[in-house]
Amino acid sequence: MKIIYFLSFFLISNFSFSMDKDKLEIDGKYTVDWNSTYTLSTLKTKTFHPLINNKISIGYNNHASIWCVFKIQNTDLKNSVKTWLCFENNHIDSLFFYDGKKIQLLGDRTNFVSPFMKGQCFSIALKPNENKTIQVKLKKEISFFEFSYSFDNEKTLSISSSRKTSFITLFLGSILFLLIFNFILYFITKSKLILKYILYSILTILYITIISNYLKNNLFNEFIYFSELQIYTACFWFISLSYFMMDFLELKKNQPQKHKIIYYCNLLIIVSILSSLVVLYTNLLNLLQFFFYITYSAFLILFSTITLASIANYKINKKNSLYVLFAFIPHFLWGNYFVLKSFSIIKADFHEDWVIYIGLYEVLFFGYVLTKNYIETFRKNNALNLEILAEKEKSIRLISHVQIRERRNIANIIHDNLGSKIAYVLQLLQLKNIAHANTTIQELANDIREISHQILPKSLDEGALLDSLKSQIYILNKGLQDVKIELFTYDFPENINEIWIYDIYLICLEIINNAIKHGESNHITIEFYGYSKNYRFQFTDDGVGFNSQGTPKGFGLENIEKRIHNYNGIFEINSVKNEGTIIQLSIPKKK
């Protein structure tokens, strides 16, 4: 990308146009034929004005022609001179050239093509000390009409045309590369912003290749409607740019008023374009100027609003605001210059080629920004995916650890309780003490049922969370000394149909175990609340507590938090050293 910018500025800096007039004396005059009724034979009776600064502008035009007459003398007494008369406006409808011997025709409305991209160029050959009078009729219907002229040698014109062709080809190739890449990005991301950039880039390519004479000169020689195509492409080019800017700055969310202004300006421009087409079709050409002024005024408001929105957006998104200002200010200056000049408010000159440079620069700049943003987003997403993967692996390890711990508990219960009783039954059977063995077997069955209930009560399958928990608390209170566990409920249903019922049951036992084992609690209070949108569970103990702000969560609490978050719930813990612990859980109800 940096290489492209370097080449572009290098090429721009080498766009120099020289004029070899050392051997020529030139006297130029012009007259305006407002109704296009003059002929070669009647020119002598018309009033001519001297050509000043090699430039003519008559402003808004409706069916007018401009006649230029050049008297040229070759002052060299020995050598012939060949020069080219060039009119630097590629979108004059027709140019009629007459040197007393031959007639040539060029222009946008003709099938004839100038040999050079610089403009509409006619060759003039003069013998030593020869004089010639050249008449040229230039016509451009229903538009802003201005042009400049120059006399150049063939070498200069060839070099400048080659450089211009190379410059535009280089940039078009870069834009096409970015377009292909952004097409791929669009199919990946389905981003509307990228789609609008693609549309804007396509219109930029079309507009630049029209205004630079690239299409007419190199590709479509016989097409005769480039003038209209230039005007309407420019309008839709600006509209597409404004929509892209609105999305890029997120104006609908951040600056809704400016978003509305831009939206209605674009709507006005579209209506004006459609109306102008109707006017052209019905041949009511006098009304066309009105729609020109409406369109230009809307563009003036649109350019100013986008610039102000970019400045105001600086506090919201500094980077995007700077991107827009850096890219759009050249467009803003050129657009306002063009509109104000069309209104004849300013007279300053601004070379047409600059809009080519601005458009290409802008498309390449935003293509680079979008590509850069996507790569940054891709990297962040990749890093996030790696973090998620690491969290999943950590969760799997935690789950495996829990499973191992629970299996170890079950193994210990079976070994310490059931194993010893089974061995005792076998001894009784060997001693043929059948009655005592039967009694022990019944005790063993009760123990197995009690252990099964402790692990996961059967009543949980029917939604009896409270009964299951009350039963387990009763057993714990009966078996523990100096520890009291209390359960209170507030509007909490006796039977509950939620998928998290098993997890809550095990979490309650885990919290009770932690409070007794690690918290050294003597009194544990459990409170269940039923609200309209969620269930809330609170566990309070009077244990030794800990610094909940500075101490990381242990394995048990971290596992509980993950299980609660899995149900879109909230886990909160507050503890102060030597003042006990409060744990609060909240889980939303099913919708």
- pLDDT, tens digit (0-9, with 9 covering 90-100), for 170-209: 877 877 887 888 888 788 878 888 888 888 888 888 888 8
CATH code, 583 = 3.30.565.10
pLDDT of residue 417: 64
- Are both 246 and 148 inside the same structural domain? no
Say if 264 falls within a structural domain: yes
Tell which phi-psi region holds residue 344, choosing left (phi > 0), alpha (psi between -120 and 50) or beta. Answer: left
Residues in CB range of 328: below 8 A, 6 or more apart: 245, 306, 307, 310, 362
Tell me the per-residue pLDDT of 27-79, one tens digit each, with 9 for 90 and over. Answer: 889 998 888 888 888 888 888 888 877 888 887 777 788 999 999 888 888 88
Query: For position 344, what pLDDT does the model report?
Result: 66
How many domains is the chain built from? 3
Asked if residue 148 is part of any domain, the answer here is: yes
Percent of the chain at pLDDT > 90 equals 6
| Burial class of residue 395 in the structure, from the number of CB atoms within 10 Å of its CB (0-12 exposed, 13-18 middle, 19+ buried) | middle
Low-confidence spans in the chain with pLDDT less than 50:
1-20
Question: Which pTM was predicted?
Answer: 0.57
Answer with the one of 281, 315, 350 that is the final residue of a domain: 350
Same domain, 468 and 579: yes
> Do residue 148 and residue 259 come from a single domain?
no
Residue 306: Cβ-neighbour burial (10 angstroms; 0-12, 13-18, 19+) = buried
**Residue 35 within a domain:** yes
Q: How far apart are CA 174 and CA 331, in angstroms?
A: 20
Find the CATH number of the domain harbouring 43. 2.60.40.2380
For 443-589, list the strands marked E by DSSP.
Answer: 484-490, 523-530, 534-541, 570-575, 581-588
* Residues 296 and 273 sit within 8 Å (Cβ to Cβ): no
Last residue of a domain, one of 126, 152, 178: 152
Is 469 within the bounds of a domain? yes
Query: Is 196 a domain residue?
Result: no
Report yes or no on 126 lying in a domain: yes
Query: Same domain for 146 and 49?
Result: yes
- The answer to whether residue 482 is domain-embedded is yes
Q: Which domain holds residue 488?
A: 460-588
Please give the pLDDT value at position 544. Answer: 87
Asked whether residue 568 is domain-assigned, the answer is yes
Collapsed DSSP state (helix, strand, coil) of residue 588: strand
Give the H/E segment covering residue 151.
strand 143-152
CA distance 233 to 224: 15
Question: Which of 152, 175, 201 is a domain's end point?
Answer: 152
Residues 146 and 246 in one domain: no
Contact 12, 167 (CB under 8 A): yes
